[in-house]
Amino acid sequence: MKILVLNGSPKKKSDTFRMTDAFLRGLNREQKHDVQIVDVIEKSIAPCRGCFGCWQKTDGHCVIEDDQNAILDRYRNSDLVIWSFPLYCYGMPSHLKAVLDRTIPLVKMTMRQEADGTVRHEALADFSRLHTVVICGCGFPDWEGNFDGLRMQCRQCFGNLDIVCVPETPMLNVPEAAVVADPLLACFEKAGEEYAREMKLFPETVTRLETPMIPKETYISIVNGN
């Protein structure tokens, strides 16, 4: 299986990528896959100009000559794309959002209506085999609404989607929190094994991964230095 990992964290010691790395270990346990990890912050990816030059060329490439076209090539030929990033202002970090904005060359200007009434652009290629996993962490406790906007965006943008949104992820890089952080990482490894077998995550698995490591009140007290 060809796997593209788009690492959207701007930091070397990423809380979110620790979860993604554990997930990849599980994915590769029974069989080694072709995994390419792109650290997006290190790439030159300009914002989309909205020129729609890609819809005139229809070759799957953007008219801007930067690192995005290599990502588009890999994206188009992948079996699984993993978007891994911390939550920024209730969405993707801007440098990763630029990657998403500039996937427009992978669709055509022409539109079609789905059975549910949704109108979408026609795909430039057959992406029915492409699966997507979104792994997002945030520094909030499990407050209602933190991930709602992101979930909606991902459901609109991606097919064959599994999304895991994890609160309290700064604890993953705190040595004193290993007693609760390490079990979560072990769960991500098991989730990777499950995904390799099933090409999906069961709802109970997602619930387990998204369950806060410690109670909300305790987490807030620690963050506030109380």
Report the distance separating Cα 165 and Cα 207, nearest Å. Answer: 10
Quick one: pLDDT at residue 75? 96
Burial of 1 (0-12, 13-18, 19+ CB in 10 A): middle
Quick one: pLDDT at residue 1? 94
pLDDT above 90 coverage of the chain, percent? 91
CA distance readout (Å), 2 to 8, 79, 165, 226: 19, 5, 24, 47
Quick one: pLDDT at residue 143? 72
* pLDDT band at residue 114 under the 50/70/90 scheme: confident
pTM, 2 dp: 0.95
Report the distance separating Cα 206 and Cα 188, nearest Å. Answer: 10
Quick one: pLDDT at residue 12? 79
* pLDDT band at residue 226 under the 50/70/90 scheme: confident
Structural domain boundaries enclosing 88? 2-223
Q: What CATH number corresponds to the domain at position 139? A: 3.40.50.360
Quick one: pLDDT at residue 37? 97
Q: What is the mean pLDDT of the chain?
A: 95
Report the distance separating Cα 15 and Cα 38, nearest Å. Answer: 17
- Average the pLDDT over 58-67 and give the result: 95
DSSP state, residue 91: B
Whether 79 shows a pLDDT value over 90: the answer reads yes
Tokens of 42: 């290190």
Q: How many CA atoms, within 13 angstroms, populate the side-chain half-sphere of residue 59?
A: 7
Task: With H, G, I as helix, E, B as strand and everything else as coil, classify residue 44.
Answer: coil
Whether 181 shows a pLDDT value over 90: the answer reads yes
Number of domains the chain is built from: 1
Report the distance separating Cα 22 and Cα 32, nearest Å. Answer: 14
